Structure 1
Amino acid sequence: MEKVNWKVEGMTCSNCALSVNKVLQKQGMHEILVNPISGEVVFETASANGNLEKARKNIELLGYTVKTDDRETVSQPPKKFLSTHMQKFWFCLPFTLLLMLGHMGATLNLHLLHNPLIQLALCLPVFIVGMGYFGKSAVNSLRSGVPNMNVLIALGASAAFIYSLIGLISADPSRIFFETAASIINIVFFGNWLEDLSIEKTQKAIKELTRNEKVMANMIAYDEQHNEHVFPIENTALKVGDLLLIKTGEQVPMDCKILSGEAEVNEAIITGESVPVFKKQNDILIGGSVISNGTVRTYVTATGNETVLNSIVQMMKQAQNQKPPVQKLVDKIAAIFVPVVISIALLTLVVNYFFVHQTFQESLMRAIAVLVISCPCAMGLATPAAIAVGLGRAAKEGILFADTKSMELFRNIKQIVFDKTGTLTNGKFSVTNFKSEIDTEEFKRIVFSLEKMSNHPIAKSIAGLWKVSTPVRWKKVEEIKGVGMKGEDKEGNIYLIGSSKINAAINDEDHHLYVTKNGQIIGWIDIADELRPEAQTVIDFCKKKGIKTILLSGDSIKKTSEVGAQLQIDEVLAEQTPQQKLEKIAQLVREQPTVMVGDGINDAPALASATISISLSKASQLAIQSASVILMDSGLKKLPMAIQLGKHTYGTIKGNLFWAFLYNIIAIPVAAVGLLTPTAGALVMGLSDVVLAANSLWLKWKKVL
C-alpha cells in the first residue's frame, strides 16, 4: 500500500469532508482521513491502483482544488479571476445593489431599474457566476452521494430565478423577484468569504511554526589551504553534516549539534518558555530556536521532514485529522441534513399553499427561505474549528496533543497516576554516601561499567559521576526490569546492582542501591533526587479540581512514602515491577478514566494502557513518543494547562454544537412561517458560521487556569 498526502482547498465543513471521503472510497482508497479546516487529505492506495488521477478530477468537480504536492504552489500559475469567494462577492455586488434599488423603483422613482428585462439582464451575470460555483458543486455532490450545503443554495436561487423568468414570460410583474435570486447568491458568497477568513485564523498556530522554516544560514567551508570561509545559504539547501556558524540574534536554521562555543538559546517556539536555555558543546540546537547570546559552530543533524519542528507540525496535523467521539454523531447528522431540509422546504410550500392558504408566490418564498437559512456547515465546523484552535494554543504553550480524543476525555478524568523518578523528581541524582568492601576505585569501576548500560535516570546519573577510562568488559550484561543491572565478567563472576530486591538476603531498606558479587554484598550507595519545584503546585491543582492523585513507583516503600507524604499524595504504591504497574493501571482504568504521567522512557506498557498518557519528554524525543499528550519542556508545570485546555476545548465544541443545533431548530421554523425573507435568511445563514468560528477563536485568548 502507498500512503498519499493531498491538500484540498475550498472545504468549509465536515459535510465537504464527507463528500471528498465518499469520492475516494469509490476509487478504492483506504484509511482515509480528511480535515476540512486544514485541507489535509491522507489515504492509502494499492500501488497498482490507477484511479488516483480520476479521484483528483472527481474531487475538483465538487468545486475544490487539489494539490498533490506542496511544491505545486511554486510552479502554479496565478489564480484566475473569480477563483475566490471574495472576488465573486465583489463582482456580484454592483448587480445585486442595482436589483435591490430596482425592487424599490416605484418608491425611489427609478422606473428604468424596475423594468423586468433590465432586472433579468442585471440578474444573469450573478446567476451565471453563482450556478457556476453552487450549481456545479451541488450536482457533483449529489453524484458523490453526500449532498452538501450548495444543493440548498442552488435550489433556492434557481427556484427564485425560474419563477421570476416565468413571471417575465407571462407578463405578471407580481411574480418577478430577480433581486431575491441575486441577493441569495451574493450574500452566501459574502458569508463564505467571512468563513474563509475565520477558518484561516484557526490555522494560525501551525502557520506560525512553519513560517520560521525558511531563513538564511552562515555556512562554513574550507579551501585547499584550510582557510575558513563563511557564506550565506538558504536553510532549505542545507544537508546533514554541513558546518554552520550561528551568532547572537540569529535563528537556528535546522536541527544542529554544537561543535564548539556556548550560547543561551530561546526555545519558545518549541517549549513555550521564553527564558533562554544554556547550551554547550555536544548539546542539540532545535531548528527554529533563537540564539539570545553567544556564538557557536555547529553541524546539521536533521533537515526537512526529519527536524523536531517539522515533527511537531506533522503531529499537529495528524491530530487535527483524527475525529473525537463527539464528531461521529455530527457526521451522521450532517450526512442526512440536506435531504431533510429539502423535505422540510417542500412541506413548507405545500402546507403554506394548501392549508394556510398563502399565495403560491409567498409559499415559494417561505420554502426558499427554509433552504437558504439552513446551515449544515455550522454543525460541520463546530468540532474541527474548536480542535484547530485548541491544538494551536496548546502548541504555543509547549503542549502537544498527539490525538484529539484526549481533549474530550479530560472532562471525565477523576484520578491521575504519577511515576516518581524523573516525573515528580527532577531525575538528576547525586551520590550522598557509599561504602565498599573492596577497593574504592575498583568498586566505582564495576558500578560505572554496569550502570552505563542502562537507560534508567539513576543509572545515567551515577555513570556520569563515576565515569572511568577503563570499564569492565562484560562477557554478558542484561537489565532486569524493575530490579537492576546484571553483568558477568570473563572469569564467570556475576555482579548485580539494584534495590534490595536483587538479593533475598537483604532485609533492610536503609540504602538505595546495593552491589553484589556472586550473591555477596560488596557495597551500597545512597543517592538523592530532588523534587521538581513545580511538583507541589501540580498536586495542589489536582486536589483543588477533585482529582485523586496516585504515586506508582518501583522504588522502595520507604523512599516512595517519603515523597508521597511530602507532596500529600492520596495513594502510594511502591516496589512495583513494570508488569505490576501495567496491571494496576489496567485495574484503575476499568474503575474510571485514568491519566498516567511518566517520563516516556520507562513503563511504556503502563503509559500505553492508561486512558490518557502524558509524557515529560525533551523536544528532541518528540518524534518517537507514543504518548497521548507530550509536555515539551520536560517538566510538570504545563500539566494543569494541558488538563484545562482539554476540558475547555471540549467545552467549546459543546458550545459550538449547541449553537449550531439551536440555530437550525429556531431558524427553519421562523423561515417556514414567513418571518424572514430569503435575502435575510441568506445573510443570517452566512453570519451563523462566523459566530461559531468566533466562539472557537475565543479559546485562543480565554483564561483557562
Structure 2
Amino acid sequence: MGMSSVTTESKNIYRVQGFTCAGCAAKFEKNVKELPGVEDAQVNFGASKLTVYGETSIDNLEKAGAFEGLKIYPEKQQRALEKEPFWKKKTTRTTAVSALFLLAGWLAGEYYGEGSSSSVLLYLVSICIGGYSLFRKGIRNLVRLDFDMSTLMTVAILGAAAIGEWGEGATVVFLFAISEALESYSMEKARQSIRSLMEIAPKEATIRRGDTDLQIPVGDIQIGDIMIVKPGQKIAMDGIVIGGKSTVNQAAITGESIPVKKELEDDVFAGTLNEEGLLEVKVTKRVEDTTISKIIHLVEEAQAEKAPSQAFVDRFAKYYTPAIMILALGIIVIPPLFLGGDWGEWVYRGLAVLVVGCPCALVISTPVSIVTAIGNAAKNGVLIKGGLHLEEAANLSIIAFDKTGTLTKGVPTVTDFVRIQGPEDKELLAIAAAIEKGSQHPLASAIVRKADQHVSDIANWKVDEFTSITGKGAKAVVNDQLYFIGSPRLFQELLPNGIDTGLNESIELLQLQGKTVMVLGTEKEVMALIAVADEIRTSSKEVIQKLRSLGITKTVMLTGDNRATGEAIGEQVDIHEVKAELLPEQKLQAIKELKTNGKVAMVGDGVNDAPALAVADLGIAMGGAGTDVALETADIALMGDDLSKLPFTISLSRKTLTIIKQNIAFALLIKLVALLLIVPGWLTLWIAIFADMGATLIVMLNGMRLLRVKR
C-alpha cells in the first residue's frame, strides 16, 4: 500500500484487520503512540478500530502493526472487511503443517527410539514452522524485558528444546497455535453482531432529481434529496415521508417484530425494510448522521469502555505475568542451588509454570462476554453504552418510571370538556387551543387536536404574550383578554378565594377516573374544565410483574400529574409507589432519595427527564430511535417504544455478570490447580498448555452463550 497521509485534523479513525488477542491490541496502541506526529492513540479491540490524535500515514500505522500483520484503512472508506475463510488463513496452514511434522516426529520416535536424530529433526521443523511468528514477537519482547504471553511461551519452548524435551516443545507450539486461533475466531464471532448492523443499510439509493431517477452512492446524497423506495427495498437514509403509504419493518433499528404503518410526515430510518407501497422520502440526515450510523458508533464505543470486571482483570494481569516469571525462575534456581535438586528436573518444572501461567483465558474472559452481550442487545433494539452500564443494570434494586410516554403511550386525548361559565363551548375550546399552540407539553397537543376537530378558525385567534408557567401551565393574552390554563393547583393559587368546593369535587371525580384535569379561566374566575387521559401501554403491567419476578424490590412512578390521576394509573399497572405533582427538580430530588436505599434506574423519554436520567445510577431512555437526546443522555436506550425490552435488558446484564464471574473464577482456578500439580511433579509441558487452551476455549464458549439470551 502506498503512502497515504492522514488529514490535518487532529482526530482520525481507522478500521484494523488482523487482531488476534487483546495483548496484541495493547502493544499496537503503544507502538502507534510512539510514532512521530502522533499525540495520542486509542485502540478499540472489540470493534477493531484505531483512533489517532495527530498526523501520520497509513504506511506508518501498518509498520507499527507489522508484528501482527495488521491492515489499516480509514473508517469512512466504503470497504468491507476481508472475510478470509478460517482454513485459508496463513496461521491455519502453518499450524496444520506443524501438526504433520509433530506427528511424523512422534512416529519416528516410536520407530527409531525417543531422542533419535530423525525425531529431533522433525520436532525442530515442527517448532520452527508453527512457532515462527510467536518467536519473532517473543524474542523481541524478551530483549525489551516486556513480559507478555509471547514472552512466556517463547522462553518455555526454547527451554524445553535446551533440556532435550523436543517433543513436548513441539506439542506446546502446536497447542498454543490452536489456542490463539480459537481466541481470534471467538472475537470475530462476537464482532459479527456489530458487523451485521454495519451491513444493514444499502450502499446506494434511488434519488429523484427533476424528472430523472438516479442510482447514487449514499455518501453523495444531500439533505433535502427525494429518495424513491420501492416495495421490498431497504431504506438507505433517514428521512420523512412526503409521498405514498406503506408498512415498514423496523426490526433492525427498534427490535419491533411487527411492521409499522408509514404515512405522510412519518419518520423512516436507514436500514429498515419497505414492505408494501412505494414511498417518496425527503432525506433529513447525511449518511454519517443516520440513526443506524449513530447506533453502530455508540455500540462500538461501548465495547471500548471497560467494565469494572475488565478493569480488575487488566490490573491483575499487569502484575500477574511478571509474578509468573519470578515464580518460574525461583522454581528453576532455588531447589538445585539450596536443596540439592536435579537441574534438569527443576528447569522442566519451571518451564511448565511459564506455560500454565500464560493468562490467555483470563485476558479474554471479560471482553468476549461484553462484546457478545452488547451486540446481542443491539440486535434486539437495546443500545447499551458500555460495559459499565451493562454491569450496573445487573445490580439494580429500584426502578423509577416517568408516566407520560413510558408507562402510558404518551398520546393523550381530551375525554371531557365541562363549561362552567363565560363564552360558549367552541369559543372556550378555541381560546384553550390558541394558548396551547405555544406549549410543548403533551397535554397541550391533545387540546389542539380536539379543537381542530370542532373549531374551523383557530388560526384567526390572536395570541400575545404567551408565557409558560413551569410545572403548572401557561398564560397568554387572547383577543386582548388575559387567560390562564393549567393545573387546578395554579388556579388555587391564582384565584382570590381559590377554587370553590363544588368545583373541587368535580375535579376530584375526574381525577379518580385516571384523568388529568386542566382548568381554563382568568385571574378572577374558572371558565372550563378540560379532562385529558393518556392510554396505558398494554405491556406496562406485565413488565412491572416481570421486574418483580427478577427481584426488583421497588418500582416507583414519578409524574408531574395530580395525585389522583397518578394513583389511578399506578393501581392499574400495579406499581409499588406513586410520587405525583413533581416539578423537574423534584423528580431529580426523588431519585437522590431513592438512591439511599439501593441502585436506582430512571426510565423516561430522554427529553423532559434528562436531569433525573443523569442523576440516577442508570438512565434508561424510551423510544431512542431518531431521538438524538435519548441516544446522547441515556446510559441505555430502548430503541422502540417497547417497555418489554427492560426485563430483557436486566436479564441479559445479570447473565453477563454471572458469566464474567464464572470465567474469571474458572481461569484462575485452573491455573491454581495446574500449579499445585508442580509439587508432586505431575505437571508436564503438554498438560500445562492443554490446560491453558482448554480454559481459553471454555471461557470463550461460555461467553458466547450470551448470544442465546432472547427477549
TM normalised by structure 1 equals 0.87
2:442 to 438, 457, 463: 457
Residue 593 of structure 1 corresponds to which residue in structure 2?
599
Question: What is the CA–CA distance in structure 1 between the aligned matches of 2:526 and 2:638, rounded to whole Å?
Answer: 41
- Residues in 2 aligned to 1:554 and 1:395: alpha-carbon distance in whole angstroms: 32
The correspondence of residues 277-356 of structure 1 with structure 2, limited to 5 A, is 277-350=260-333, 353=336
| 1:535 and 2:536 are equivalent in the alignment | no
Within the alignment, does 1:639 sit opposite 2:646 as a pair? yes
Q: Give the root-mean-square deviation of aligned CA atoms.
A: 3.2
2:479 and 2:458 map into 1 onto residues whose CA distance is 19
Q: Is the 8 A contact 2:202 2:271 kept in 1?
A: no
Is contact 2:238-2:284 (8 Å) kept?
Answer: yes
1:221-241 CA-to-partner distances (Å, cap 9, x unmatched) read 444xxxxx4454454553333
Which residue is equivalent to 1:149? 149
> Is residue 349 of structure 2 the alignment partner of residue 366 of structure 1?
yes
- Partner Cα separation in structure 2 for residue 205 and residue 556 of structure 1: 45
**Could you tell me how far 1:3 is from its partner in structure 2?**
3.1
Q: Secondary structure at the match of 1:185?
A: helix
Instruction: Specify whether residues 104 and 237 from structure 1 end up closer, same or farther in structure 2 by C-alpha distance, changes over 3 A only.
Output: farther
For residues 626 and 433 of structure 2, the distance between their equivalents in structure 1, rounded to whole angstroms, comes to 26
Separation in 2, partners of 1:76, 1:472: 61
From 46, 51, 55, give the equivalent of 1:37. Answer: 46
Structure-2 residue corresponding to 1:180:
168
- 1:639-691, Cα deviation, whole Å (9 max, x unpaired): 11111111111111111111111122122332564323323322332232121
Q: Quick one: which of 178, 185, 197 aligns to 1:190?
A: 178
Counterpart of 1:427? 410
Task: Report if aligned partners of 2:62, 2:70 keep a CA contact under 8 Å in 1.
Answer: no
TM-score, normalised to structure 2, is: 0.86
Deviations along 1:168-224, one digit per CA (max 9) or x if unpaired, are xxxxxxx5333333332222112111211111111121111112233553343444x
In structure 2, give the amino acid aligned to 1:662: L
* Equivalent position of 2:6 in the other structure: none
Deviation at 1:575, TM superposition (A): 0.8
Structure 2 unaligned regions, length at least 5 = 1-8, 511-516
1:240 is matched with 223
Q: Secondary structure at the match of 1:293?
A: coil
Q: CA deviation at 1:521?
A: 2.9
Structure-1 residue corresponding to 2:12: 4
Question: What's the CA shift for 1:419?
Answer: 1.3
Is the 8 Å Cα contact of residues 105 and 122 (structure 2) preserved in structure 1? no
Answer whether contact 2:607 2:630 (CA < 8 A) is retained: no
- Could you tell which deviates more after superposition, 452-461 or 641-650? 452-461
Partner of 2:189: 201
Q: 1:608 aligned to 2:609?
A: no
Matched, 1:116 2:148: no
Structure 1 residue ranges without an equivalent (≥5): 164-174, 224-228
Aligned to 1:481: 470
- Indicate if the aligned counterparts of 1:488 and 1:495 stay in contact, CA closer than 8 A: yes
* 1:137-176 CA-partner distances (Å, limit 9, x unpaired): 3355568876321111111122223x1xxxxxxxxxxx53
C-alpha contact (below 8 Å) 2:21/2:183 kept by paired residues? no
Q: Specify whether residues 656 and 454 from structure 1 end up closer, same or farther in structure 2 by C-alpha distance, changes over 3 A only.
A: farther
For residues 691 and 264 of structure 2, the distance between their equivalents in structure 1, rounded to whole angstroms, comes to 61
Once the two structures are overlaid, the 10-residue window that deviates more, 362-371 or 556-565, is 362-371
CA distance in structure 2 between the partners assigned to 1:68 and 1:248 by the alignment = 35
Cα 1:589–1:408 shift into 2, 3 Å:
same
- 2: CA distance between counterparts of 1:487 and 1:144? 76
Post-superposition shift, 1:633? 1.4
Asked whether the 8 Å contact 1:254–1:286 carries over to 2, the reply is: yes
Judge conservation of contact 1:542–1:548 (CA < 8 Å) in 2.
Answer: no
Match of 2:684 among 664, 677, 684: 677
Please name the residue that 2:423 is paired with. 438
Q: Aligned in 2, Cα 1:4/1:139: closer, same or farther, shift over 3 Å?
A: farther
Matched-pair contact (CA < 8 Å) for 1:146–1:335 = no
Please give the residue correspondences for 1:31-180 in structure 2 after superposition, counting only pairs within 5 Å. 33-42=42-51, 45=53, 49=54, 56=61, 59-60=64-65, 62-63=67-68, 65=70, 67-70=72-75, 74=79, 84-106=90-112, 115-116=116-117, 119-120=120-121, 123-124=124-125, 126-127=127-128, 130-131=131-132, 133-139=133-139, 141=141, 147-161=147-161, 163=162, 175-180=163-168
**Judging changes above 3 Å, is the alpha-carbon distance between structure 1 residues 606 and 75 closer, same or farther for their aligned structure 2 residues?**
closer
Letter aligned with residue 455 of structure 1: Q
After superposition, give the CA deviation of every residue in 1:455-508 in whole Å (9 maximum; x if it has no partner): 3222233333324651655443343332222334685x5433221232313443
State the shift of 1:75 in Å. 11
> How many residues are aligned here?
675
Match of 2:665 in 1: 658
Alpha-carbon contact 1:235-1:254 (below 8 Å) kept: yes
**For residue 673 of structure 2, what is the amino acid of its counterpart?**
I
Q: Deviations over 1:60-89 (max 9, x none)?
A: 25536252513678599999x997432331
Q: Is the 8 A contact 2:218 2:287 kept in 1?
A: no
CA contact (8 A) 1:214 1:236 kept: no
Deviates most, 146-155 or 570-579: 146-155
Contact 2:435 2:478 in 1 (8 A): no
- Provide the residue aligned with 1:169 in structure 2: none
Deviations 1:234-261 (A, max 9, x none): 5455333333322222211222321211
Contact between 1:548 and 1:570, CA under 8 Å: does it hold in 2?
yes
1:474 and 1:259 mapped to 2: Cα distance?
31
Give matches, 1:686-697, under 5 Å.
686-697=693-704
Query: Given residue 45 of structure 2, which amino acid in structure 1 is its aligned partner?
Result: P
Match of 2:634? 627
Secondary structure of 1:620's aligned partner: coil
Once the 2 structures are TM-superposed, how far is the Cα of residue 386 of structure 1 from its aligned partner? Answer: 0.8
Q: Residue 416 of structure 1: CA displacement?
A: 1.2
Aligned letter for 2:473?
Answer: G
Q: Could you tell me which amino acid in structure 2 is paired with residue 158 of structure 1?
A: L
Percent identical pairs in the alignment equals 27
